[in-house]
Chains A and B, each alone.
Chain A
Amino acid sequence: MILYELIDYSTLKMIWWLLLGVLLIGFAVTDGFDMGVGALLPFVGETDVERRVAINTIGATWEGNQVWFILGGGAIFAAWPPLYAISFSGFYLAMFVVLAAMILRPVAFKYRSKRPDPEWRNRWDWALFTGSFVPALVFGVAVGNVLLGVPFTLDPDLRMTYEGSFFGLFSPFSLLCGLLSVCMLVMHGGAWLGMRAGGVVAERGRRYGSFAAIGAIVLFGLGGFLIANGFVDGQRITSDIDPNMPANPLWKTAVIEDGAWMANYAAHPILWLAPALGFLGAFGALVGLQTRYEKLTFLCSKLSVFGIISTVGVSMFPFLLPSSVQPDASLTVWDSASSHATLFNMLVATIIFLPIILVYTAWVYKVLWGKVDEKTIERDNETAY
C-alpha cells in the first residue's frame, strides 16, 4: 500500500515544519500563561489566599496545557528524529534542569494545599515559581543558542558529538533570548490573571504584565537589531537543494554567513508580518492591560507569542538546528525529517485527533470559566488547590 504517495515528500516536510510551529506555539500559548502565572506567584500573591487565587485560575487546566510540551517532545521525535536526538543530548544538563523544574510543577499544584502548614505551602510556592521561571528562561536560552548555531558534529554514521559545555550555553545573546522568553510568558500570564483573577491579584497581574510587555518589546527589538546588524551569523545552503532528498544532513553543504537570517525577509517581504505581529501584539497587550479589555488583551498577548515564535522559525528557514562547527551537518527541513511514510501516517493521526483535542479543550475551558477571587477560595476551601 503506497497511500502516502498521495502527498509528495517535500510537501510533507513543509507541512511538518508548519506543524512543528503549531506545536511550539500551542505550548507557549497554553502552558505559557501557566508558566507566567507561576513565575508571578511570589509577586501577585502576598497572602496565602491571594496565592491560591492565582493558582486556582489555572488549577483545573494546567495539566492539559502541559501535554503540549509532551506532545511537542513526541512529535519532534516522530517527525524530526535527528533534531530530537541532537538537541536533547547536546543540551543534556540544561534539559535535566528543565525536567527537574517541570517535575516539581505538577506536584506543587497538587500537594501545596493538602496541608494548612504555612511552611509547607511556602516551599511548594517556591517549587511552583522555580518550575515556571526556570523552564521559561531555559527554553529562551535554548532558542538563542539555536539562532547562534550549536557546536555539534556528525560522523558518517550520523553519530553526534557535542563540543560545547553547559555554561557555554549562556552567552549574552542567548541570555537576551532567555529574558525575552520570560518577559513574553509573564506578559501572557499577567494578561491571564487580569482576565481570570479577581481583586488585588488581578491588579498586580496587570501591573507586572505591563512591565513584562515593555520588556518583551524592548528585548525583541534588541534581538532583531543584533541579528540584522551582523552580531549573529546565519547559515546558507550552498549545494543544490533537492527538497525530496533522503533525510541525511551530510548530503548537503552549507556555510556560515553574516546576515543570512535576514535573507528570507528580503526574498519574501510578507514574512515581515511575523515580527510585526510580535511587536503589535505586545503593544496591544500593554495598552489592554491599562484599559481592561480583558479578553482582547489576552488575544493580543497570544498574537504576540505567535509572532515572536514565528519570527524565529521564518528567519532560520529551512534551517532547524545549525551546527556552528560543521555547517554541512546542520539540520534543515529538507534533510532531517522522518521518512515519507512516517510523515504521512503522523499527518493522518494529527488531522484526526488535533481538531478533537481543540474541541474538547475549548469545552472544558468553557465549563470551568469564571473569575476566581478570595470568596471563591473560601467557598471551595476543601477542594481548591
Chain B
Amino acid sequence: MELDVVGLSRLQFAMTALYHFLFVPLTIGLSILLATMETVYVMTGREIWKRMVKFWGTLFGINFVLGVATGLTMEFQFGMNWAYFSQYVGDVFGAPLAIEGLMAFFLEATFVGLFFFGWDKLTKRQHLAATWAVAFGTNFSALWILIANGWMQHPVGAMFNPDTMRMEVTSFFEVLFNPVAQAKFVHTVSAGYVTASMFVIGVSAWYMLKGWHIAIAKRSIAVASAFGFASALSVVVLGDESGYEANLNQKMKLATIEAMWETEPAPAAFNVVALPDQAKRENLFAIEVPYVMGLIATRSLTEEIPGINELVEESKDRIRQGAIAWDALQKIRDNPKDVDPAVRDTFVQNQHTLGYAYLLLSFTDDPLNATNEQIDAAAWSAVPEVWPMFYAFRIMVACGMFFILFTAVFFYYSSSAKLDRLAKDRRWILHIAVWSIPLPWIASEMGWFVAEYGRQPWIIEGMLPTSAAASNLSVTEVLLTLAGFIALYSTLLVIEITLMLKNIRKGPDDGRTESHEPARPVSTGAMPAPAE
C-alpha cells in the first residue's frame, strides 16, 4: 500500500474503525447481560443481582463512553476523507446511518443516563425498562451500521444515474433486506455477546482465584456462560452463513481467504496451512482437508468454487464492458439534455460494469482502446494480497472454535458446587479464563480485517474502487490528522484500561467490608450464601 492520500486515508480509516470496534462488541454484549441480570433482580427481588448490575454497569460505562466518543469519528470521516464516495453513494449509504441515529442511537444514549442516574428516581420496573432500552438501542445500532456495510459488500437495490453522476436507490427494501447485511448483523452481534461473556467469565474467574466476591462471581459466570455458549454457536453458524453469502456475491474474497489460485474439482478442499506466493500466483506449500471448503461455500458436493485465476479472467470481460459504459457516460455527461438516446441505452445496458472502467483508468487514459497488457494489469489489481486474508481468517476461526469449547466448559461447571470444585481442584481452567479475555477482541478485529481488506480494491464491491473514492486532500493534511488520532486514541486507551483495571480490582460492592482485601483462601470452601 502506497502512502499517498488514498493509502493514508485507508490507514486512518482502518485504524479509527478497528479502534472503535475495541469498545463496540463489549457494549453490545454487556448491555444484554446487564438487562438479563436486572431482569433476574426484578423477578426475584434479590439485592445481590442489583449489585451485580451496578458493578458490571460501572465497567460498561467506562467502555461505553469511548465507543460513543470514537463513533463520532466514524460518522464524519466518510465526508472528511472519502468525499467522492460520499457524493457517489450518499443517496443509498447515508440513509441507514441517519436511521441508525433516529431509531437506535437516540434510544441508547438517552436511556443510558437513566441507567446510571435513575436508580432512586424510578420504580424497579421502570429502571429495568430503561436498561432494556439501552440494550435494544445498541443492538439496533449494529443492525443499521451493518446494513450500510453490507451494502458496500453487496450493493443491491441501486443504479447509477448519469444525470446526477451518482448511484441512487431503486429499492430501499432490497437495501434493508440485503442477505449479506442480515448475515453480518447476526454474526457481529453474536460476536459482541461472546466478547461480553468471555469478559464477564474472565473477570469472575479472577475473583474466584483470588477468593474475592465469590457470590457475585459465581452468579456472573452462570449467566455469562449460558449466554456465551449459545452465542459462540451462533457466531460460528452465522459466520458460515456469511461464507455462503460470500460465495454467492464476493467470490474473490472467498478465493483469497482460501488461497485458492486454481478452480478445483468439486467439492473443494480446505487449506489449513498454506504459504501463498502472490507473484507466482500459487501456494508454495499447503495442508488440505478434502471436501470441507466445497461444503461450507456451496453446501453441495458438485458445485465448483472458482479460483483466483479464473476470477481474474472473468473480470477482464467486465473491464472491457465497463470501458463501453464509461465512454457512453462521458457523452451523456458532456451533453446531458440532448444526447442521442442510443447512447443512454448503451450506458444502461453496461452500467453495472462501470466500476471496472475506473480500475482500468489507473492504467490508461483511454479505456476504449486499452491494450491487453493494460487490461491484464487492471484485472490483477482487483486481487487483494492473499496471505493476510488467509491467516486473519484462520486466526478468527480458531478463536471461534475455542470460544465454543471454552463457554461449553464453563456452562458445564456453572452450578455453585461445581464452581467450588473448579476453584479448588482445577484452578488452571480459571487461569485460562483470565488469560483468554483478549481473544474475542482479536477475533473481532481479524473478522473486520477479512471483511474490509478482502473487499479491496473496491470501496463498493464491483462499483467504485477505493482509489477513486478519496477526498482531494494533501498528504500533509492526512498525516496531521493521522498523527492526531494516534496521539489522542493512544492516550485514551491507556486511561481506559487503567480505569477498567482499577475498577475491577476495587470490585463490586457486595455488602462485605472485607471486599477490598484479599480475603480468606478459597480452600476453606464455599462462602455462605449472601443475605438475600
Q: Does A122 contact B (CB under 8 A)?
A: no
Pick from B90, B106, B164: contact of A67, CB below 8 A.
B106
CA distance A89 to B170 in the complex (A): 28
Q: Does B365 contact A (CB under 8 A)?
A: no
Binds B, one of A109-117, A140-148, A291-299: A109-117
Nearest Cβ on chain B to A128's Cβ, whole angstroms: 13
Flag if A93 contacts B480 (CB, 8 Å): yes
Pick from B113, B172, B502: contact of A368, CB below 8 A.
B113
Residue of A nearest to B62 (CB): A110
Flag if B101 contacts A75 (CB, 8 Å): yes
Q: Does A266 contact B (CB under 8 A)?
A: no
Q: Does A102 contact B (CB under 8 A)?
A: yes
Q: Does B247 contact A (CB under 8 A)?
A: no
Q: Interface digits, B89-107 against A, CB 8 Å rule (1 contact, 0 not)?
A: 0111111011111110111
Flag if B111 contacts A89 (CB, 8 Å): no
Instruction: Find chain B residues with CB under 8 A from A109 CB.
Output: 65
Flag if B83 contacts A160 (CB, 8 Å): yes
CA distance A95 to B92 in the complex (A): 24
Q: Does B188 contact A (CB under 8 A)?
A: no
Instruction: Find chain B residues with CB under 8 A from A75 CB.
Output: 94, 98, 101
Binds B, one of A46-54, A77-85, A196-204, A253-261: A77-85
Flag if B118 contacts A368 (CB, 8 Å): yes
Flag if A111 contacts B75 (CB, 8 Å): no
CA distance A82 to B85 in the complex (A): 10
Flag if A74 contacts B94 (CB, 8 Å): yes
A residues 244-262 in Cβ contact with B at 8 Å: 246-248, 251
Interface size counted on chain B using CB atoms at 8 A: 74
Nearest Cβ on chain A to B153's Cβ, whole angstroms: 19
Flag if B65 contacts A71 (CB, 8 Å): no
Flag if B84 contacts A159 (CB, 8 Å): yes
Nearest Cβ on chain A to B486's Cβ, whole angstroms: 12
Nearest Cβ on chain B to A372's Cβ, whole angstroms: 11
Pick from B93, B102, B164: contact of A247, CB below 8 A.
B164
CA distance A110 to B69 in the complex (A): 11
Pick from A63, A161, A345: contact of B113, CB below 8 A.
A63
Pick from B62, B71, B90, B172: contact of A70, CB below 8 A.
B71
Q: Does B61 contact A (CB under 8 A)?
A: yes
Instruction: Find chain B residues with CB under 8 A from A104 CB.
Output: 69, 488
Flag if A96 contacts B481 (CB, 8 Å): yes
CA distance A87 to B111 in the complex (A): 32
Q: A77 with B103: in contact, given A85-B84, A345-B169 (CB under 8 Å)?
A: no
B residues 277-315 in Cβ contact with A at 8 Å: none
Binds B, one of A168-176, A274-282, A306-314, A350-358: A350-358
Nearest Cβ on chain A to B58's Cβ, whole angstroms: 9
CA distance A108 to B92 in the complex (A): 35
Q: Does A223 contact B (CB under 8 A)?
A: no
Q: Of A88, A162, A251, A360, which is in contact with the most chain B CB atoms at under 10 Å from its CB?
A: A88
Majority-rule SS of B interface residues: helix
Q: Does B70 contact A (CB under 8 A)?
A: yes
Q: Does B432 contact A (CB under 8 A)?
A: no
Flag if B117 contacts A81 (CB, 8 Å): no
Q: Does A6 contact B (CB under 8 A)?
A: no
CA distance A71 to B68 in the complex (A): 13
Flag if B110 contacts A64 (CB, 8 Å): yes
Flag if A89 contacts B90 (CB, 8 Å): no
B residues 491-508 in Cβ contact with A at 8 Å: 492, 495, 499, 502-503
Pick from A82, A106, A111, A341: contact of B87, CB below 8 A.
A82
Q: Does B345 contact A (CB under 8 A)?
A: no
Flag if B105 contacts A71 (CB, 8 Å): yes
Instruction: Find chain B residues with CB under 8 A from A353 CB.
Output: 99, 102-103, 106
Instruction: Find chain A residues with CB under 8 A from B374 CB.
Output: none
Flag if A246 contacts B98 (CB, 8 Å): no
Q: Does B109 contact A (CB under 8 A)?
A: yes
Binds A, one of B265-273, B387-395, B413-421, B470-478: B470-478
Instruction: Find chain B residues with CB under 8 A from A87 CB.
Output: 79
CA distance A82 to B79 in the complex (A): 9
Q: Does A238 contact B (CB under 8 A)?
A: no
CA distance A99 to B258 in the complex (A): 39
Q: Does A300 contact B (CB under 8 A)?
A: no
Q: Does A66 contact B (CB under 8 A)?
A: yes
Q: A59 with B66: in contact, given A67-B105, A100-B488 (CB under 8 Å)?
A: no
Residue of A nearest to B95 (CB): A78
Instruction: Find chain A residues with CB under 8 A from B189 CB.
Output: none
Q: Of B98, B110, B168, B484, which is in contact with the most chain A CB atoms at under 10 Å from its CB?
A: B98
Q: A248 with B90: in contact, given A60-B113, A95-B80 (CB under 8 Å)?
A: no
Flag if B117 contacts A60 (CB, 8 Å): yes
Flag if A342 contacts B95 (CB, 8 Å): yes
Q: A77 with B97: in contact, given A85-B86, A99-B72, A367-B114 (CB under 8 Å)?
A: yes
Q: Does B166 contact A (CB under 8 A)?
A: yes
Nearest Cβ on chain B to A166's Cβ, whole angstroms: 8
Q: A368 with B75: in contact, given A77-B97, A81-B166, A354-B102 (CB under 8 Å)?
A: no
B residues 172-197 in Cβ contact with A at 8 Å: 172
Q: A84 with B86: in contact, given A110-B61, A350-B102 (CB under 8 Å)?
A: yes
Q: Interface digits, B45-88 against A, CB 8 Å rule (1 contact, 0 not)?
A: 00000000000000001100110111111011011110110110
CA distance A110 to B109 in the complex (A): 13
Flag if B80 contacts A107 (CB, 8 Å): no
CA distance A114 to B75 in the complex (A): 28
Pick from A59, A111, A246: contact of B495, CB below 8 A.
A111
Q: A103 with B73: in contact, given A86-B83, A339-B161, A342-B169 (CB under 8 Å)?
A: yes
Instruction: Find chain A residues with CB under 8 A from B112 CB.
Output: 63
B residues 122-177 in Cβ contact with A at 8 Å: 122, 133, 161, 163-166, 168-170, 172
Residue of B nearest to A58 (CB): B113
CA distance A114 to B480 in the complex (A): 32
Flag if B166 contacts A367 (CB, 8 Å): no
CA distance A161 to B87 in the complex (A): 13
- Which A positions have Cβ atoms within 8 angstroms of B? 59-64, 66-67, 69-71, 73-79, 81-82, 84-89, 92-93, 95-96, 99-100, 102-107, 109-111, 114, 156-162, 246-248, 251, 338-339, 341-342, 345-346, 349-350, 353-354, 357, 360-361, 364, 367-368, 383
Jot down 18 A-B pairs with beta carbons below 8 A, ordered by A.
Answer: A60-B114, A63-B112, A70-B75, A73-B76, A77-B93, A78-B91, A78-B97, A81-B91, A81-B166, A93-B480, A95-B80, A103-B73, A110-B65, A248-B336, A342-B169, A346-B98, A360-B133, A368-B113
A85-B83, A338-B168 provided; 15 other pairs, C-beta below 8 A? A67-B106, A70-B101, A74-B101, A76-B94, A81-B91, A82-B87, A93-B480, A99-B73, A103-B72, A107-B495, A339-B169, A342-B91, A346-B99, A354-B102, A361-B106
